[in-house]
Amino acid sequence: MDKLICKCGHENPPGTILCESCGRPLNEQEQNKKLADMRYEGTARRSQTYNKSIIDKIWNFFSSVKVGVGIIIVLLIAAAVGTILPQKQYVPATTDAEIKAYYTDIYGSVGTVYHALGFHDLYNSFWFIILVGMLAISLIIASLDRFVPLYKSLKNQRVLRHSSFMHKQRIVAEGPGSADTLKKAEEKLTGLKYKVSTDKNGLLAEKGRFSRWGPYVNHIGLIIFLFGVMLRMMPGFYVDETLWIREGETRAIPDAPGYVLESKGFTLETYTGEGEEEKFGEAIDRVGTVAKNYQTDVVLYKIPEGTLPGDTADMEVVEEHAIRVNQPFKFDGYALYQMDFQQDELKTMSFALQNKETGESRGDLTIDLVNPETNYELEDGSVVELLGYYPDFSGFENGEPQTATPLPKNPGFLVKMTTPDTPDGETSFITIQNTVEPLGDNDYKLAFQGVETRDASGLTVRKDRTLPILGLGGLIFMIGVAQGMYFNHRRFWIQQQADGSILLAGHTNKNWFGLKKDLDQVTEHASLPAYRDQQEDMEAQEKREGEQLT
């Protein structure tokens, strides 16, 4: 396509609507309009100019507001659909099969369909991520398509505009002036914080041009944010681990090499409704108990570099800390969060080896439920041998005892008891509820004596190096939104024509009320001719014509 040469002699890029230099309309359609289309200053936008190659088509697709809004609406509906039933991460099931079964069991056929469509993991689904990606592309292309020509045009704008441009502005004034009109107008406009530039017989007063960049700035913020979210997939940027630690235990922190954590204890406090808390009495009575504090007291150790793995002899205390909800423990880019707890987890179980008939005891044994021993030697040579240990006994499969989890929730023991009376040994399978004697009746039994319990804390280990990027994106977005919405770009063009008369035009990207208030002051100070709002005039005329018809 050829360049467009305006009557004023300026060469405009193809597709320009209003001459960049003097503002004359460059096509017939624009010439016939009563008001100039000032949205992008009548510049040539790539998307409105080329539509030949495949690249043009893609560019035009993504630069369209219609397409952008379409993507937003589809995303909005998809996001809402994902809240109808809980997402898989909030479902008490872990394996894929269990999750699938959960949706069917709890929600019936609706749940089955929901799961089959992939809505149980909607936000990680391929198509949802593609949609977000399309939104990002649209943000970039639509911004470039508008920003580049708008920037060039505002940068190159001239003071003197052609009278056809002036007459097609919404705010226009024309009438007699005196020798000092321009001078006085300049004075007042400068006082109103306008930037005034003059050229021969005219002036251009401008204020708040930066507000025009607001939309592009906020889009940049959003793109930075989305980029930060993408960055999490890179190794090393993001750690998300769970650490279950029992009171008194010392454990290496997963994914935080060199760091070891010891738990001094877990505390759960509830509101008592007494003293200071008396005012909460009614609420506490209604709901039962209300938690006041979840806290794990920990000691953080560091293993010096160069130490062999598993060698904890030289570790140094880094810090003692209380981890509470809303008060994560931060160190070296990591943070530990109080997320979960398990109270009264079984720690040990004690038994007495008793003769069933006489009740005579041959001694006590205590089994550590996390690290059980294999042999427990008692008085007079009696031995209890632990043949099998099932921390969370869940039943028999093919005659073999099974454990559901490695946590000691429902311990089962397969033991062989040997006493001087029964030198060949007797086998017994013991759980909390009952005892099975698989190889026939025994003379001896393990009589339950008691348990020791302790609390365990569920901590989340987190490292997220993308946070500063996300924060920056959010900040830029907010700046852009405020810039574009709370400020506006106002301009006045004033020319004194050869016969001394004044021609004035005014434009703003929004808030015409504010523009008129400024102009009222200038008009009064410089005795400018009265202005009119051409759009309001047109609307009033349409209304009159409409009324005449009815």
Partner 1 sequence: MTLADISSNLLYVAFIAYLVATFVFGGAVKGNKKGTYRSEQRWGKVAITITVIGFVSQVGYFITRWVVTGHAPISNMFEFTTAFGMTLVGGFIILYALYRTAVLGMIVLPIALLIIAYASMFPSEVSPLIPALQTNWLAIHVITVVVAEGILAISAAAGLIYLLKVVDQKKKSKQRFWLEAIMYSLVLVLGFVVTSTFFTLTNYEADFAYVNKDGQPSEITYNMPAIFGMNEFEPMTDGALTPLLEMPPIVHAGKLTTVLWSLMVGTVLYALIRLVFRKRISAMLQPFTKNVNLQLMDEINYRSIIIGFPIFSLGALIFAMIWAQIAWSRFWGWDPKEVWALVTFLFYAAYLHLRLGRGWAGEKSAWLAVIGFVIIMFNLVAVNLIIAGLHSYA
Which residues of this chain interact with partner 1, rule CB under 8 A? 65-66, 68-69, 72-73, 75-76, 79-80, 82-84, 86-87, 89-90, 106-108, 123, 240, 271, 277, 279-280, 282-284, 286, 290-294, 324-326, 328, 335, 337, 339, 460, 462, 464, 467, 470, 474, 477-478, 481-482, 485-486
Closest approach of partner 1 to the CB of residue 504, in Å: 24
Residue 279 CB contacts under 8 Å (≥ 6 apart), including other chains? none
Residue 521 CB contacts under 8 Å (≥ 6 apart), including other chains? 188, 192
Closest approach of partner 1 to the CB of residue 107, in Å: 6
Which 3 state secondary structure label does DSSP give 390? Answer: strand
In the chain, % helix, strand, coil (3-state, to 5) comes to 35, 30, 30
CA 54: distance to chain centroid? 35
Please identify, using beta-carbon distances, which residue of 66 and 200 lies nearer to partner 1: 66
- Tell me the two tokens of residue 132: 């977000």
Please identify, using beta-carbon distances, which residue of 259 and 376 lies nearer to partner 1: 259
Closest approach of partner 1 to the CB of residue 462, in Å: 5
- Of 487, 488, 484, 511, nearest to 218 by C-alpha is 484
How many residues are listed for the chain in this entry?
550
Please identify, using beta-carbon distances, which residue of 418 and 466 lies nearer to partner 1: 466
Please identify, using beta-carbon distances, which residue of 362 and 462 lies nearer to partner 1: 462
Place of tokens 């097609």: 168
The DSSP line for 263-323 is: EEEEEEEE---SGGGGGGHHHHHHHS--EEEEEEEEEEEEPPTTPPTT--TT-EEEEEEEE
Please identify, using beta-carbon distances, which residue of 201 and 460 lies nearer to partner 1: 460
Residue 142 CB contacts under 8 Å (≥ 6 apart), including other chains? 62, 63, 64, 65, 68, 219
Rounded-to-integer distance, Cα 201 and Cα 186, Å: 12
289, with CB counted inside 10 A (0-12, 13-18, 19+), is: exposed
Closest approach of partner 1 to the CB of residue 211, in Å: 12
Dihedral over alpha carbons 72, 78, 84, 86 (to 10 degrees): -110
Closest approach of partner 1 to the CB of residue 544, in Å: 16
